[in-house]
Structure 1
């Protein structure tokens, strides 16, 4: 049993009681496909799959099984659906053993994976599955084929990448796994391209092409720039990154939305909650509003889902075990309950209360001034023109062209992204432009306006109560 400090033990075992939650219902695993419209991911039962991801890059490397259980259970309670984690981790992943004393490879050789290490990976993937979570599995972090920065060493060639990929593909065939190649690297040489394509080929050979696959590039970069037309790339992933407040992640989302062939797309690494802006603590840290803004902007620009991230969680920062990376400042057992992690779950719940896979970005709904700044407003309209979502990040009033909706009787309400509470505004007809003033305006007072066809079953969903996740809600 690996050594655990008293500090870690206290929080590991006390927090579940201090913030008691009903256990999430075990979900039935359903294979994932690209939807017929090529915009979204769908389950085997035909229902749309909402990707709500969390970056847990060091999950296999830095946590015990008991800690992984706690982390996964909490993320399931918060409404996450995808956990992004790396088999060959970034920080000394090849030379520093996991907490059970196991390295992932023998002699740093990708053709010689260590069975005992991957038994721990198996455990975590299976535990996630039991909670209804899909693992977004990165075979390796990018420094193992393109060191550039980080620890490395570079160990991959096209030949051993294919062998390793096929081994992984066979091992996790039939598991709730989505493959994410890359690992914070954009290919720069022909060898890089060859390694990635060989690994993808190997995975597909191992799993029979039965699982989805994408690519995780560097900050302010986009998988579509490198692999959009490759058959193995099921959907696009971009990384809007951590360099500035109000990064316009909707720009890459919109670019991908216009590409042919059509593929789903999402922001796989936006600005992390509790991450120093541009890696400089003196410029402040990203907060929950930054995380919400990124999520709503990306989704209303046509995202098939969204990945949230917390700077303390991805590295599982524990000052008694490891040094802080990039000025991490909060123990991960506290950071797991940062506000943004609950609030992206509220976003998912609102979306899933409607036929959200029918939403189409529609900025023409918005009338009046809309400066391209921190308060930039966005809107999307259901393809049958029977509901709309419009987001105002700083609480500026929204002017909506109600004539865009074809149904005569409408109900409008405010959805509060900060607490999941819906408040009715009133009933309207679909005539002319109407201004909707938010209940409160401030730099971090974001609001989502929802207007529904009053006759639809989803009309006024959540009124007058809040929208907690099924059987749960943020602990008081």
Structure 2
């Protein structure tokens, strides 16, 4: 049967019952999964459990981030709401923004005409009051407050970089002022934000500046807060701070080039770091980004961005950060010129293909007990480069997945499922739809072939779990704890 014909059969299985497609259907168990995630407007602190994060209720937290580095700098109050409304509707959970950003027209003044400091961090510009209708009251930091508050009202957490390391560490931020500045930021935002130190830079030679800043933040916040470090491309925070107590999760930067093997090794090394801390890619390939900053070499496409995301998450990450090249700099505001080969404008960028499709990744993972997943060697010939297949398997044998960036036939070993019978699906990361792969069958080796020439995720469940279709984002049929 050719792929086109088989796709029609599979779609028919979706419209019919599972039994009509030859699947045995166990009695449905009522969902008893983890507690519901924290409601919008009440985004409390997150904490580490094993290789994943959980909120105050104990519900697993999937980090789906967006790089909005210049958000406090380049958007006015109405535009902040427009941006946050869009990302909340698309299923994002974290917004990465920089308090003092030296790019995209920064470090100041912002759209209100306010600067974050005068001369140095020893002289932060703050005023009495915070009335946005009174220019004498509403200052730069009041606007950062507004971003944090508006995000929380929409169920979004701000991952805040106090400074952007590139061009600022060692000059603006120093060993002498890092403690006081950290106390200022920590006292102001407490555990309402996630703190991201660094900013597109290695920490070689300035490790103590970051450690001092981290100590100041925790003292200002009055206790432990969630922190990580954003490194340069092709780097991981584990290189410097893996054993530091203040670093709660590791962050990598996959970068904006076609260095597939480098990215794969970076993910593997960070997952295998000595501390076993959670990790994620905090700056992967941006959508509509020139390859390696060279427009003459072409621009990234949606499938390139999706591949980065699925490779990373099925490689053991607890979430993923997306980015669009015109959105992080909010191109089209303030009459600024494009930087680093960007094109278009930020409002168009909010509707870019892969940016919308990132919500399907979150839905897929939340429809399975994803906190039990870990990378696994299940495919006989995973391939290399842009076509490499990445597989993951739950430690309790409830499910396994394999991301196939370039459709081809492959053989996968499903013997790690807990029961003898596998229920298999094809999940489409472009649409978020899932179709049955075949009737329930033995949980052993099977050769499979995606429905069409796009990228797909093969999902195999232990049939006894009676899990819902991949991507339905309902709690698993049996209770699962994070860890």
TM-score, with structure 1 as normaliser: 0.86
Q: Where do residues 306-385 of structure 1 align in structure 2 (5 Å cutoff)?
A: 306-318=320-332, 321-363=335-377, 365-367=378-380, 369-385=381-397
- Residue 79 (1) aligns with residue 95 (2): no
- Residue 223 (1) aligns with residue 244 (2): no
Q: Structure 1 residue aligned with 2:59, among 47, 57, 79?
A: 47
CA distance in 2 between counterparts of 1:110 and 1:418 reads: 49
- Cα distance change, pair 461–183 in 1 and its aligned pair in 2 (3 A): closer
CA distance in 2 between counterparts of 1:79 and 1:431 reads: 33
Q: Structure 1 residue aligned with 2:184, among 155, 159, 167?
A: 167
Q: How many pairs were matched up?
A: 427
Tell me, yes or no, if the aligned pair for 1:158 and 1:194 is still in contact at 8 Å: yes
Could you tell me which residue of structure 2 aligns to residue 454 of structure 1? 463
Tell me, yes or no, if the aligned pair for 1:110 and 1:155 is still in contact at 8 Å: no
CA shift, 1:28, in A, is 3.1
TM-score, with structure 2 as normaliser: 0.84
Tell me, yes or no, if the aligned pair for 1:265 and 1:304 is still in contact at 8 Å: yes
CA shift, 1:427, in A, is 2.6
Could you tell me which residue of structure 1 aligns to residue 437 of structure 2? 425
Could you tell me which residue of structure 1 aligns to residue 142 of structure 2? 119
- Cα distance change, pair 126–370 in 1 and its aligned pair in 2 (3 A): same
CA distance in 2 between counterparts of 1:156 and 1:283 reads: 36
CA shift, 1:215, in A, is 0.4
Q: Where do residues 171-250 of structure 1 align in structure 2 (5 Å cutoff)?
A: 171-175=188-192, 177-189=193-205, 192-244=206-258, 246=260, 248-250=262-264
CA shift, 1:157, in A, is 1.7
CA distance in 1 between counterparts of 2:353 and 2:259 reads: 18
CA distance in 1 between counterparts of 2:104 and 2:298 reads: 28
- Residue 276 (1) aligns with residue 282 (2): no
Q: CA RMSD in A?
A: 2.1
Tell me, yes or no, if the aligned pair for 1:395 and 1:447 is still in contact at 8 Å: yes
CA distance in 2 between counterparts of 1:432 and 1:86 reads: 49
SS in 2 for 1:346: helix
Q: Structure 2 residue aligned with 1:298, among 296, 302, 312?
A: 312
CA distance in 2 between counterparts of 1:101 and 1:237 reads: 33
CA distance in 2 between counterparts of 1:449 and 1:135 reads: 33
CA distance in 1 between counterparts of 2:362 and 2:462 reads: 20
CA distance in 1 between counterparts of 2:63 and 2:264 reads: 17
CA distance in 2 between counterparts of 1:200 and 1:273 reads: 32
SS in 2 for 1:299: helix
- Cα distance change, pair 145–292 in 1 and its aligned pair in 2 (3 A): same
CA distance in 2 between counterparts of 1:324 and 1:247 reads: 30
SS in 2 for 1:158: coil
CA offsets per residue over residues 421-472 of structure 1, 9 Å max, x none? 111122333343111111112xxx110011112232424345xxxx599xxx
- Cα distance change, pair 358–92 in 1 and its aligned pair in 2 (3 A): closer
CA distance in 2 between counterparts of 1:110 and 1:313 reads: 31
Tell me, yes or no, if the aligned pair for 2:202 and 2:231 is still in contact at 8 Å: yes
Tell me, yes or no, if the aligned pair for 1:249 and 1:297 is still in contact at 8 Å: no
Tell me, yes or no, if the aligned pair for 2:291 and 2:297 is still in contact at 8 Å: yes
Could you tell me which residue of structure 2 aligns to residue 155 of structure 1? 172
Tell me, yes or no, if the aligned pair for 1:268 and 1:306 is still in contact at 8 Å: yes
CA shift, 1:319, in A, is 6.9
CA shift, 1:293, in A, is 0.2
Could you tell me which residue of structure 2 aligns to residue 151 of structure 1? none
CA distance in 2 between counterparts of 1:71 and 1:40 reads: 27
CA distance in 2 between counterparts of 1:276 and 1:245 reads: 14
CA distance in 1 between counterparts of 2:59 and 2:70 reads: 31
CA shift, 1:256, in A, is 1.5
- Residue 68 (1) aligns with residue 88 (2): no
Tell me, yes or no, if the aligned pair for 1:136 and 1:180 is still in contact at 8 Å: yes
Structure 1 stretches (4+) deviating beyond 6 angstroms? none
Tell me, yes or no, if the aligned pair for 1:54 and 1:83 is still in contact at 8 Å: yes
Quick check: 401-410 or 54-63, which moved more? 401-410
Tell me, yes or no, if the aligned pair for 1:144 and 1:156 is still in contact at 8 Å: no
Tell me, yes or no, if the aligned pair for 1:272 and 1:291 is still in contact at 8 Å: yes
- Cα distance change, pair 161–77 in 1 and its aligned pair in 2 (3 A): same
Could you tell me which residue of structure 1 aligns to residue 406 of structure 2? 394
Tell me, yes or no, if the aligned pair for 2:427 and 2:470 is still in contact at 8 Å: no
Structure 1 unmatched runs, 5+: 1-23, 148-153, 470-476
Structure 2 unmatched runs, 5+: 1-37, 128-138, 475-483
CA shift, 1:213, in A, is 0.3
CA shift, 1:106, in A, is 2.3
- Cα distance change, pair 94–393 in 1 and its aligned pair in 2 (3 A): closer
CA distance in 2 between counterparts of 1:75 and 1:438 reads: 30
